[in-house]
Amino acid sequence: MINEILPDALKARLASNENVILLDVRQPEEHAEKNIPNSMLIPLGELPMRLAELEQLRDKEIV
């Protein structure tokens, strides 16, 4: 399911909910330059090979 979330709403959810994981699919260089603290980096090109990592987070909401 794909939904849209506004930046302020995401900020509030991340601050108040430990069950939310922010998935950053940019390249490592982009993530190193600027990122949201505690975001999880999995570059988009690696995502199919790293789905097992996300499977372990099944009880959390991934944004």
Q: What is the pLDDT of residues 5-63, one digit of tens each?
A: 899 998 898 898 778 999 999 999 999 999 988 899 999 999 999 999 999 999 998 99
Q: Say if 2 falls within a structural domain.
A: no
Q: Say if 32 falls within a structural domain.
A: yes
Q: Which residues pair with 40 in a beta bridge?
A: 23
Report pLDDT for 17: 78
Question: How far, in Å, CA of 63 to CA of 56, rounded?
Answer: 15
Total number of domains in the chain: 1
Full domain range(s) for residue 16: 7-62
Report pLDDT for 18: 77
Q: Which amino acid is at 55?
A: E
